[in-house]
Chain A
Amino acid sequence: MTNPASSGTGGAVRFGALLLAMPLLLWLFLLVILPHVDLLLVSLRERISYGKYEFSLINYTEFFVEPLYWNTYIRTAVMSIMATALTLLIGFPVSYYIAKVMRGKGKNVLFLLCLIPFWVSELVRTFGWMILLRESGVISNFLQWAGIADGPVEMLYNDATIMVGLVYTSMLFMVVPLVSVLDSLDDSLIEAGYDLGGNAFTVTRDIVIPHAMPGIASGCIVVFMLTLGNYLTPNLLGGKDSLWFTEQIYTQFITRFNWESGSAFGFLLLVLSSMIVWIGLKLSRQTLSETVS
């Protein structure tokens, strides 16, 4: 059925719908579509002198010529994929435990416990890791006290730490979709799997994981995207050598004031994230609309 009583007042309804569509169109065109088109245009020009620009691919050739940019780009992509995989690996058993093993009140409490840390800003969480991991931090002191280490241990500023921080920061976005998709798996399907001669491994492989695929896809996409675009965690936990691509963008824009090259970098990052998200969707046979709703 269409809108109730839509007939007879068709003109008014159409006008109302148009009015309703205005905010949407303004939002999408002014804040999403046009800025990105402009970003592309800016990335495709070269500054000749003050206020004078010419079409040029120099910003992109520069990216491919300079190994630092290249390497940072590849490194960011590889580490983001690793962080996504690790988050899935750590988060899946936890989500399964919450959705399928726990019952009643305990289940809700555990789920809430999972969520609450993530209502606190990423900055605060990263700050916590710094206090834990720095040379004068809690873990270093604990190791000395326990006699495992002789002197202060610096655990900040290396790739493993960045990974710990990235996985931590992304966990919520993996656990929530996984719990909701696993929750919708009927217990009797698992029971039937066992009844027909399956074991923990085959039932997980043949029943649980195929059922959870939409949740896995949406969790992985969001986590990957957030990790790729992260700035805080690599910057604070990785220090100067973190070599994260967003830092390059920031440097071009804010420090060097080279917007043309910064826009090109931004666009390259966007292409990278869209491409990997697209490949992920194809591999898991999902669509973007299905994944978010």
Chain B
Amino acid sequence: MADQFDLECRDVVKKFDAFTAVDSVSLTIPKGSFFSILGPSGCGKTTLLRMLAGFQTPTSGDILIKGSSVLGVPPNRRPVNMVFQHLALFPMMNVSENVAYGLKRRGADRATIEKKVSDTLARVGLPDSGPKQISQLSGGQKQRIAIARCLVLEPAVLLLDEPLGALDLKLREHMKVELKQLQHEIGTTFVYITHDQSEALVMSDQVAVMNAGRFEQVGAPQDLYYNPHTAFVAGFVGESNRWKGTVGMTHDDHIVINLPTGGAVLASRKTHPTLAEGQPVDVFVRPEAIAIDGQGETDNAIAAKVDNVLFNGAASSVQVRDKATGHEMTVALPQTGAFANLKSGDLVNLTWGAEQTRCFVAAENQEATA
């Protein structure tokens, strides 16, 4: 059933001398989906993308596009196109020459080129920009031309290498939505790499979180956020309060995690069936899972003092300090505007349910235990 997948990697490894940049990565991307690879810089995601485009050759493993291996195929013959990090629009050509470039290389005739170029420009919403110079375009327009230049070739897969990185914040937010919409309309498979978790979460159908050359977890954005499999994913996707601890007593439905500075956190036995007493663990609790002054579950309860109020509209939060142990925590403020007048020095009661606590055994390889 390989032809269901537009793109498939089988145990792809890339080594540069002693350094392993990509370490046995396997993935399958179904037709028409928006697939993101999310990871910090240096995790190997760019190398992986360049192998898909043909600019690097895997040390071992296989890459298949539409079911057939492309290992021996040079980049100019692969049915994938790429939107480069800094777009790489040709500055010595105008917009329509840029978009026509690939068609010309294929030897398409003039009338076809003209028609396809104007169709594609219309599709990205810039129908009249053909004669413009690249330098006359705004950042967002350049983005769309870079995409148009690829789409006109009707690639099996479109690769995008952090194309939003160079834009300012506001435009980036806007382009996120636009890209998702565009992908939805044209139905081409997108492979998008980024280090920005919000880009990956907002746009993707599937996200692969990559770290040190390996895929930590592949799943829908909601999956990664609410059900991280590893400590790395829990820490990298979304905000978290994070402590180190040791597994203490286990009860019927609760596990006690002892923190080294005193105090303890309760986790649910159900979500951590394999934890054994004495294991060192990393503990994560999302700021929005913690309730202020007693709404919701109360498995964990802490009296804390407000250190700082970080007002940021709907994403406001407070930094607090556990009165008993001195632990610092960040707690999200409800978007209703309740607690809007919290001040530093105020005392608050914090509570959260045991099933909101996530623990991962702290070992060298950080294997998932959940």
State if A and B touch, Cβ cutoff 8 Å: yes
CB of B72 within 8 A of CB of A4, answer: no
Residues B56-80 near A (CB distance < 8 A): 56-57, 72, 74-75
Query: What residue in chain A is nearest B75 (Cβ atoms)?
Result: A5
Give the residues in chain A near B74, CB-CB below 8 Å.
5, 8-9
Residues A69-93 near B (CB distance < 8 A): none
CB of B57 within 8 A of CB of A4, answer: no
Bound together, the chains give a CA A5 to CA B51 distance in angstroms of: 10
Q: A5-B74, A7-B56, A8-B74 are in contact. List 10 more A-B contacts (CB 8 A).
A: A1-B55, A4-B55, A4-B75, A5-B54, A5-B55, A5-B75, A7-B57, A8-B57, A8-B72, A9-B74
Query: What residue in chain A is nearest B57 (Cβ atoms)?
Result: A7
Give the residues in chain A near B55, CB-CB below 8 Å.
1, 4-5
Task: Give me 13 A-to-B residue pairs in the complex whose CB atoms sit less than 8 angstroms apart, sorted by A's number.
Answer: A1-B55, A4-B55, A4-B75, A5-B54, A5-B55, A5-B74, A5-B75, A7-B56, A7-B57, A8-B57, A8-B72, A8-B74, A9-B74
Q: Contact residues of B with A, CB < 8 Å?
A: 54-57, 72, 74-75
Bound together, the chains give a CA A1 to CA B47 distance in angstroms of: 10
Q: 3 smallest A-B Cβ distances: which pairs?
A: A7-B57, A4-B55, A5-B75
Residue-by-residue, is A1-45 near B (CB-CB < 8 Å gives 1, otherwise 0)? 100110111000000000000000000000000000000000000
Query: What residue in chain B is nearest A8 (Cβ atoms)?
Result: B57
- Chain A, interface SS category: loop
Q: Contact residues of A with B, CB < 8 Å?
A: 1, 4-5, 7-9
Give the residues in chain B near A7, CB-CB below 8 Å.
56-57
- Shortest B70–chain A CB gap in Å is 12
Give the residues in chain B near A1, CB-CB below 8 Å.
55
Bound together, the chains give a CA A246 to CA B303 distance in angstroms of: 91
- Shortest B63–chain A CB gap in Å is 14
Give the residues in chain A near B54, CB-CB below 8 Å.
5
Bound together, the chains give a CA A199 to CA B5 distance in angstroms of: 71
Bound together, the chains give a CA A9 to CA B72 distance in angstroms of: 11
Give the residues in chain A near B57, CB-CB below 8 Å.
7-8
Bound together, the chains give a CA A258 to CA B55 distance in angstroms of: 61
Give the residues in chain B near A4, CB-CB below 8 Å.
55, 75
Bound together, the chains give a CA A1 to CA B16 distance in angstroms of: 11
Bound together, the chains give a CA A4 to CA B84 distance in angstroms of: 14
Bound together, the chains give a CA A4 to CA B75 distance in angstroms of: 9
- Shortest B247–chain A CB gap in Å is 46
Query: What residue in chain B is nearest A9 (Cβ atoms)?
Result: B74
Give the residues in chain A near B56, CB-CB below 8 Å.
7
Give the residues in chain A near B72, CB-CB below 8 Å.
8
- Shortest A80–chain B CB gap in Å is 44
Bound together, the chains give a CA A275 to CA B265 distance in angstroms of: 75
- Shortest A13–chain B CB gap in Å is 13
Query: What residue in chain A is nearest B47 (Cβ atoms)?
Result: A1
Bound together, the chains give a CA A70 to CA B253 distance in angstroms of: 102
Bound together, the chains give a CA A7 to CA B74 distance in angstroms of: 10
Give the residues in chain B near A8, CB-CB below 8 Å.
57, 72, 74
Bound together, the chains give a CA A5 to CA B75 distance in angstroms of: 7
Bound together, the chains give a CA A247 to CA B298 distance in angstroms of: 100
- Shortest A51–chain B CB gap in Å is 59
Bound together, the chains give a CA A4 to CA B82 distance in angstroms of: 14
Bound together, the chains give a CA A9 to CA B75 distance in angstroms of: 12
- Shortest B330–chain A CB gap in Å is 37
- Shortest B51–chain A CB gap in Å is 11
Query: What residue in chain A is nearest B55 (Cβ atoms)?
Result: A4
Query: What residue in chain A is nearest B73 (Cβ atoms)?
Result: A8
- Shortest B14–chain A CB gap in Å is 11
Give the residues in chain A near B75, CB-CB below 8 Å.
4-5
- Shortest B261–chain A CB gap in Å is 45
Query: What residue in chain A is nearest B50 (Cβ atoms)?
Result: A1
- Shortest A180–chain B CB gap in Å is 23
- Shortest B174–chain A CB gap in Å is 31
Bound together, the chains give a CA A213 to CA B55 distance in angstroms of: 42
Give the residues in chain B near A5, CB-CB below 8 Å.
54-55, 74-75
Bound together, the chains give a CA A7 to CA B55 distance in angstroms of: 8
- Shortest A217–chain B CB gap in Å is 34
Give the residues in chain B near A9, CB-CB below 8 Å.
74
- Shortest B362–chain A CB gap in Å is 36
Bound together, the chains give a CA A5 to CA B74 distance in angstroms of: 7
Bound together, the chains give a CA A1 to CA B57 distance in angstroms of: 13
Bound together, the chains give a CA A216 to CA B216 distance in angstroms of: 55
Bound together, the chains give a CA A181 to CA B251 distance in angstroms of: 73
- Shortest A7–chain B CB gap in Å is 4
- Shortest B13–chain A CB gap in Å is 14
- Shortest A99–chain B CB gap in Å is 26
Bound together, the chains give a CA A8 to CA B72 distance in angstroms of: 8
Query: What residue in chain A is nearest B72 (Cβ atoms)?
Result: A8
- Shortest B81–chain A CB gap in Å is 15
- Shortest B126–chain A CB gap in Å is 29
- Shortest A12–chain B CB gap in Å is 12
Bound together, the chains give a CA A8 to CA B57 distance in angstroms of: 8
- Shortest B186–chain A CB gap in Å is 27
Bound together, the chains give a CA A4 to CA B88 distance in angstroms of: 14
